[in-house]
């Protein structure tokens, strides 16, 4: 593709949109625009094809441009475009809640809707606080998180965050949070699948309980796989141990499955992939195959009933919600997406495709620039040797990849790869080969 060819349309004025999580000045020098998408490809301003190696942002496992979803959204907007989300219901949200409840672990079948992963996290934290208060244990207002955690951008999520730039910019605002260590260990370098070493890192929770007192701790929040900070797969036995400790101390276990939900690991949720059932699951991203903003929080019946049954008649039981909670168009998009996932057996397909995908990723270890590879299901992280400034190598790689026709997310000096479940073997080959070529060229 001739990248010097004239633009297909007039480029809009770029000065007004302050882009999120973007080096804006740098973007303006070399705008990387996506103008169209279909299947596993984006198309840029010159019509150049860009392979989507990250399912958008982990959002689009069924591939782009699914007409079933577009039709469902259009029909919904023409039938009921908006319904007030408080005190009025609409059928689609109840249908969707039942469908999601059928996917979550059995006991977790009460579903609260929001619009983004960040909102799901805030909602989960508030549910945890409300639950303990309803049980007369209102002293439990401390949260346990982890280094290298990412839980979105709102204040609760920022407080949970274990990412240094996040904490530098905003401090530990919001709820009180203490952190366990992350699960990256030198001994596990190069491991695909669950690493052998590190289950004992879960005992950090026990130490925090000893220090702060179980009676003060509301919940322990973890991404089953820390996604945004480089795909840190939990060591064997780690999540089991966390579950055991939480149960022992009356601490709720929250899995933030914003990335890992909806088949990314070859199962409905990481909870099922790893066989560990939390008390609360947050989800977003793939809930609509990326076609509408939406998020959900699944909670156990026990938590729901404790909050709802304790409130006086006629009183709002949980003082929380969003104008666009369970937006009809988002519900319609999600129902259509879940139909596709089911009818095309996409979670099974992800499980089957992951063996080939991860084999190909593992082979990148021979590159001079690669210091580690990790992965599980259709999710992989490749650590790159940092250059003089942390994050610079990742930034350069991410730009070069785009020019070479591949979209990937980088975070710091790690490349994160998350193909759509519908990606063909040949496309996975192109993805890995393009990454290999760019990394080889850069090392030279
Ligand atoms: N939690 C996790 C685990 C995430 O990966 C993300 C987004 N990458 C979020 C929360 C925040 O989601 P959103 O960007 O939709 O607010």
For residue 13, which phi and psi values (nearest 5 degrees)? -65, 125
Helices (H), 265-391: 270-274, 301-310, 328-343, 346-362
Q: Is 379 in the pocket of ligand 1 (CB under 6 A)?
A: no
Residue 89 CA, chain-centre distance (Å), reads 28
Atom of ligand 1 nearest to the CA of 256: 3
Q: Is 192 in the pocket of ligand 1 (CB under 6 A)?
A: no
Atom of ligand 1 nearest to the CA of 295: 15
Look at residue 381 and give its three-state secondary structure. strand
Q: How far is the CA of 359 from the centre of ligand 1 (A)?
A: 27
Q: How far is the CA of 261 from the centre of ligand 1 (A)?
A: 11
| Beta strand residue intervals within 151-249, DSSP E | 176-180, 217-222
In testing the pocket of ligand 1, which one of 152, 154, 255, 281 has its CB within 8 Å of the most ligand atoms? 152
Atom of ligand 1 nearest to the CA of 157: 10
Q: Is 284 in the pocket of ligand 1 (CB under 6 A)?
A: yes
Per CATH, the number for 24-62+345-443 is 3.90.1150.10
Alpha-carbon torsion, ordered 42, 45, 47, 50, to 10 deg: -30
Q: Under a CB-based contact definition with an 8 Å cutoff, are residues 374 and 230 in contact?
A: yes
- What pTM value is reported for the model? 0.96
Written as six digits, the tokens of 30 are 């070399």
Q: Under a CB-based contact definition with an 8 Å cutoff, are residues 2 and 46 in contact?
A: yes
What would the mean pLDDT of 398-409 be, rounded to a whole number? Answer: 95
Q: What is the mean pLDDT of the chain?
A: 95
**pLDDT 10s digits, 220-278:** 999 999 999 999 999 999 999 999 999 999 999 999 999 999 999 999 999 999 999 99
Q: What span, in angstroms and rounded, lies between the C-alpha atoms of 92 and 419?
A: 29
10 Å CB burial of residue 329 (0-12, 13-18, 19+) is buried
Q: 280 - beta bridge partners?
A: 254, 299
Atom of ligand 1 nearest to the CA of 257: 3
Q: Is 257 in the pocket of ligand 1 (CB under 6 A)?
A: no
Q: Is 256 in the pocket of ligand 1 (CB under 6 A)?
A: yes
pLDDT level of residue 68 (50, 70, 90 thresholds): very high
Neighbours of 272 (CB within 10 A): 16
Q: Under a CB-based contact definition with an 8 Å cutoff, are residues 43 and 50 in contact?
A: yes
**Whole-Å CA distances, 380 to 147, 199, 331:** 19, 21, 29
Q: What span, in angstroms and rounded, lies between the C-alpha atoms of 414 and 228?
A: 9
What would the mean pLDDT of 430-437 be, rounded to a whole number? Answer: 98
Q: Is 104 in the pocket of ligand 1 (CB under 6 A)?
A: no
Q: Is 223 in the pocket of ligand 1 (CB under 6 A)?
A: yes
What is the reported pLDDT for 433? 98
Closest to 219 in 3D by CA, of 319, 311, 316, 121: 121
Which class is 68-343 in CATH? alpha beta
Q: Under a CB-based contact definition with an 8 Å cutoff, are residues 254 and 246 in contact?
A: no
pLDDT level of residue 166 (50, 70, 90 thresholds): low
What is the reported pLDDT for 397? 94
Q: Is 269 in the pocket of ligand 1 (CB under 6 A)?
A: no
Comparing 62 with 314, the larger pLDDT belongs to: 62
Q: What span, in angstroms and rounded, lies between the C-alpha atoms of 121 and 160?
A: 10
**pLDDT 10s digits, 338-392:** 999 999 999 999 999 999 999 999 999 999 999 999 999 999 999 999 888 888 8
Atom of ligand 1 nearest to the CA of 260: 3
What is the reported pLDDT for 4? 45
Look at residue 3 and give its three-state secondary structure. coil
Q: How far is the CA of 5 from the centre of ligand 1 (A)?
A: 36
Looking only at the bridges linking them, the beta strands covering 295-299 and 110-114 are antiparallel
Q: For the chain, which residues make up each domain, given as ranges?
A: 24-62+345-443, 68-343
Query: What is the arrangement of strands in the sheet containing 217-222, beginning at the earlier edge strand?
Result: 110-114, 295-299, 280-283, 252-256, 217-222, 142-146, 176-180
Closest to 209 in 3D by CA, of 168, 169, 242: 242
Helices (H), 11-163: 24-29, 55-58, 67-79, 91-103, 117-134, 155-160
């Amino acid at each position: 593709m001739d990248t010097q060819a004239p633009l297909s349309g007039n480029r809009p004025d770029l000065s007004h949109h302050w882009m999120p999580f973007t080096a804006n000045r740098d973007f303006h020098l070399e705008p990387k625009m996506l103008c169209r998408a279909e299947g596993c490809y984006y198309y840029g301003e010159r019509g150049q094809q860009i392979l989507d190696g990250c399912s958008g942002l982990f959002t689009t496992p069924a591939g782009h441009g699914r007409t079933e979803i577009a039709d469902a959204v259009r029909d919904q907007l023409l039938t009921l475009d908006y319904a007030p989300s408080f005190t009025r219901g609409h059928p689609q949200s109840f249908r969707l809640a039942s469908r999601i409840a059928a996917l979550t672990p059995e006991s977790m079948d009460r579903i609260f809707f929001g619009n983004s992963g960040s909102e799901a996290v805030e909602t989960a934290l508030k549910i945890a606080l409300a639950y303990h208060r309803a049980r007369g244990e209102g002293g439990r207002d401390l949260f346990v998180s982890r280094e290298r955690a990412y839980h979105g951008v709102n204040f609760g999520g920022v407080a949970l965050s274990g990412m240094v730039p996040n904490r530098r910019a905003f401090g530990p605002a919001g709820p009180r949070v203490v952190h366990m260590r992350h699960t990256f260990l030198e001994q596990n370098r190069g491991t695909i699948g669950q690493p052998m070493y590190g289950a004992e890192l879960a005992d950090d929770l026990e130490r925090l309980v000893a220090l702060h007192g179980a009676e003060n701790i509301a919940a322990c929040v973890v991404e089953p796989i820390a996604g945004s900070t480089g795909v840190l797969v939990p060591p064997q036995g780690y999540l089991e141990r966390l579950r055991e400790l939480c149960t022992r101390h009356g601490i709720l276990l929250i899995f933030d499955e914003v990335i890992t939900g909806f088949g990314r690991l070859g199962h409905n949720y990481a909870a099922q992939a790893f066989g560990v059932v939390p008390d609360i699951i947050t989800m977003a991203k793939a809930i609509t195959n990326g076609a509408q903003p939406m998020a959900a929080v699944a909670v156990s019946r026990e938590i729901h009933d404790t909050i709802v049954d304790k409130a006086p008649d006629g009183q709002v039981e949980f003082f929380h919600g969003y104008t666009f909670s369970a937006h009809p168009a988002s519900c319609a998009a999600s129902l259509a997406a879940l139909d596709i996932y089911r009818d095309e057996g996409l979670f099974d397909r992800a499980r089957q495709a992951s063996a080939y995908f991860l084999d190909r990723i593992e082979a990148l270890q021979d590159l001079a620039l690669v210091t580690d590879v990790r992965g599980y299901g259709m999710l992989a992280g490749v650590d790159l040797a940092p250059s003089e400034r942390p994050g610079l190598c990742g930034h350069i790689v991410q730009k070069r990849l785009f020019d070479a026709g591949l979209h990937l997310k980088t975070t710091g000096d790690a490349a994160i790869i998350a193909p759509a479940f519908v990606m063909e073997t040949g496309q996975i080959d192109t993805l890995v080969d393009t990454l290999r070529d760019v990394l080889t060229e850069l090392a030279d």
